[in-house]
Chain A
Amino acid sequence: MIHLGTLTITYAGIASAIAILTALIGTLYWMLHPPKSKADLVAKKAETQLKTQLGASIVVFSSDIRSEHMMVLASKLARGQRTVLLAAYVIEVPFTLPTHAPMELEDRAALDILAAAEVIAKNNGCEVRTEIIHHRQTSEAVLELAKREKANLIIMGSYREGKYTGAPLSRTIETIAANAKCDVLIGVEGKHGTLLVEEEPEPVTATVPVLHAE
């Protein structure tokens, strides 16, 4: 027996108290860790893979590639994953100009788009770095950037170059998808699905300017 002030504690009491506590904690721990099913294992593997993919992600913008909606998706995926998001805007510099030539209008547009990307990231609780790149070719710029950043995932929207170019998602996007050393996530908007969905002509009234009589 142990005497502590007015308390008398017995060894049997101590042993019983510890045994009860251990038995209950052990039972509940065992219950809360059931064996994984085949579906659980597949899901776990996919989740691990996605975490790796999201390790370093680049969201690509350009004058032709609209990726705002993909920025939202990237931000939602990145939230809580410790992902480093990089939003990059590529400005294609024509061959008639040197690569360092100032392009004020394009730079301004890029700043607007990247500011919106920052707001999207902030609203979704993740951090983003931004970068404007001047390059001769968008696809080449993105591939070089991915290499430099050791990116795991390139995320971008899409645009339609034309029905008969052989590259319905545009050559730029297809070049990136074909040559990237990491995963590429392309958000194809429904209206671009010209191969699968019959295109409906846009209503004429929408394009007719309203003329006010003098």
Chain B
Amino acid sequence: MSRKEEGLRRSVTPWGSYSWGYADVGADIFVALGLVFGAAAGASNVAFLFAGLVYVCVGLAYTELASAYPVAGGGQYFVMRGLGDMLGFVAGWAVLLDFTIDITLFAWGCIGYLSHLPVLHVLDASANPAVHFAVVFAAIAALALLNVVGVRESTAFNGMVSALDVVSETSILFFGFLFAFRPELLVHSMQTGWPSSFQLMNGISLAIISFVGLESISHAAEETNRPASIIPRTSIALILTILIFALAYSNLALGMQPWHAIPAGSGGHVHDFWRFLGFPENQDKAVAVMASNIPYFGALAALYVPVLGAILLLISSNSGVFGSSRIAYSMSQFKLLPAIFERVHQKYKTPVISIVTFCGLAVIELIFAALQGNAGYEFLGDLYAFGAAASYTLVFVALIALRLKDPLTPRKFKIPWNIPMRFRGERVEFPVVGVIGFAGIFAILIFVLYTHHIGRIAGPSWLLLGIIIFTVYRKSKGLPVFGSQPRNWSADQVGILKNAGELELMDELVEKLKTRQREREGPPA
């Protein structure tokens, strides 16, 4: 594999690694809460629970893989290494879909949250769709421009915003449960608002959105100090944080007695509060609406939650811009995409073609979304869920494949519940959680295809387009389409651990490789 000779600086601390992931996945609840309530109604907490359990399995898989293979490619690299070049491409291409949707969806959400401020109500998508479109478009263009001229995201800024947001969300939940939670109302809401099976499946497939982005930690693995030790902690902490937030928000919303019986913005109509959150006009700012309806605390939250949410969503949107260009760069290095995506601007030294291409795609997605009026936000959510479910499905298969094909690589963190067995003469451990996770995420992928009318066409079409590009490119370069290029993974792995500063693990791997070689050669004659 190709690696930078000078190596990336290992300067990311535990909090830096956590905030790197949080800046991406932490913003998801701001987007997903309203969408899930719009679809799963009184069973939204169940939808979040199901998606959350799958997410725990996804998170554990990423934790094991990112700590064992601390390289920048993330899921695309794991799948390529475990399942070959073509499936590695498919995983990377699905992630690219997610990143481009990420740019649009979170830019849309950012403007949505700002519109919750009375002075910026003009930006509301339902009230002024043309103004909203223009501002989201401008936000995407500005992010593209900033990334082209090379304004780097500050890890310190990310860390500060993440810290503020963790405190803010914890405060919303703390005061929400303390001042407004009625357990009997939760039971009543679930009984009266229980959806049909179709709606529940739709809700589950949208709930997975609130957990997308954990892989950002694995993208930063190459720059993380002592990744094999730090990443398991930061990943698990992130999994728990997001799971707590998602479950707590959904249960609070169902059992919340709002400050005013008729919430501001409801047009004077009395609704169940959770139903009010799921209305199309509130979907893109549900957390802010909820926070502002908590007794007493809401008066303060109404002022800062929209702003903080907008900042976090903008950071997340920006992570889509540089995430897509990073993945495209990594894929082109492995000859999965044309080398044009490796080209950097002569003056700014940034991958300008990648940035412009993927921001251009984001704008196309924005146009498609805007054409659907109030359903536009959900359309973006559908595609986001499809991309995530498709790539996570492959990551689970890669996890199982790597456990069988590469048992020697030291895994400082290993998913629990394994079945010891022998495979091709070597002792391996088969991950039961990998199978459970695969079944769960595959079910969600089926839910997405079954319940999302546009997602079921647009998602697979995206993958088909990618496979055509891959085939044409590989044929033009004389490279195998269905097979993989020969690579010395063992030597690469030693190099990866050396670069990561995991010298003890490197020694362990070298010793295991020597032992295996001695065993294969047999005793000296």
Q: Interface on A for B, CB 8 Å cutoff?
A: 6-10, 12-14, 16-17, 20-21, 23-24, 27-28, 30-32, 34-35, 37-38
Contact = CB atoms under 8 A, between A and B. Distances in A.
B173 A17 contact: yes
A7 B226 contact: no
A20 B177 contact: yes
B226 A6 contact: no
A134 B170 CA distance: 67
Contacts of B234: 31
- 7 closest Cβ pairs, A-B complex: A31-B237, A13-B181, A17-B177, A16-B177, A12-B183, A17-B178, A13-B177
A21 B248 CA distance: 11
A3 to B, nearest CB: 12
12 contacts: A10-B183, A13-B180, A13-B181, A14-B177, A17-B178, A20-B170, A20-B173, A21-B174, A23-B244, A24-B166, A27-B237, A30-B237
B244 A34 contact: no
Contacts of A38: 504
Interface string B221-257: 0000010011001101100110010001001000001
Contacts of A35: 229
A8 B241 CA distance: 28
A14 B166 CA distance: 20
Contacts of A12: 181, 183
Given A6-B295, A9-B179, A30-B237, A20 B230 contact: no
A170 to B, nearest CB: 42
Given A10-B182, A17-B178, A27 B173 contact: no
B181 A28 contact: no
B150 interface: no
B170 A21 contact: yes
Interface of B: 14-15, 18, 166, 170, 173-183, 226, 229-230, 233-234, 236-237, 240-241, 244, 248, 251, 257, 295-296, 504
A32 B14 contact: yes
B102 to A, nearest CB: 25
Given A20-B170, A23-B244, A34 B230 contact: yes
B241 A24 contact: yes
A152 B196 CA distance: 77
A20 B244 contact: yes
Nearest to B240: A27
Contacts of A6: 295
Contacts, number: 73
Contacts of A13: 177-183
B177 A28 contact: no
B170 A24 contact: yes
Contact of A31 (B183, B233, B295, B296): B233
A9 to B, nearest CB: 6
B301 to A, nearest CB: 15
B15 A37 contact: no
Given A10-B183, A30-B233, A34-B14, A24 B178 contact: no
B220 to A, nearest CB: 15
B181 A37 contact: no
Given A32-B14, A32-B15, A37-B226, A16 B181 contact: yes
B187 to A, nearest CB: 11
Contacts of A21: 170, 174
B31 to A, nearest CB: 21
A175 B331 CA distance: 65
Given A7-B295, A8-B257, 15 more contacts: A7-B179, A10-B183, A12-B183, A13-B181, A13-B182, A17-B175, A17-B176, A20-B173, A27-B237, A27-B240, A31-B18, A31-B233, A32-B14, A34-B230, A37-B226
Given A28-B237, A34-B14, A9 B178 contact: yes
B460 to A, nearest CB: 38
A139 to B, nearest CB: 44
Contacts of B295: 6-7
Contacts of A16: 177, 181, 248, 251
B174 A17 contact: yes
A58 to B, nearest CB: 37
A24 B18 CA distance: 13
A39 to B, nearest CB: 8
Contacts of A28: 166, 237, 241
Given A7-B295, A9-B179, A13-B181, A20 B18 contact: no
A14 B183 CA distance: 11
Contact of B248 (A9, A20, A30): A20
B18 A14 contact: no
Contacts of B251: 16
Contacts of B182: 10, 13
B241 to A, nearest CB: 6
Which interface residue of A8, A13, A32, A37 has the most chain B CB atoms within 10 A? A13
B161 to A, nearest CB: 16
Which interface residue of A9, A20, A23 has the most chain B CB atoms within 10 A? A20
Nearest to A28: B237
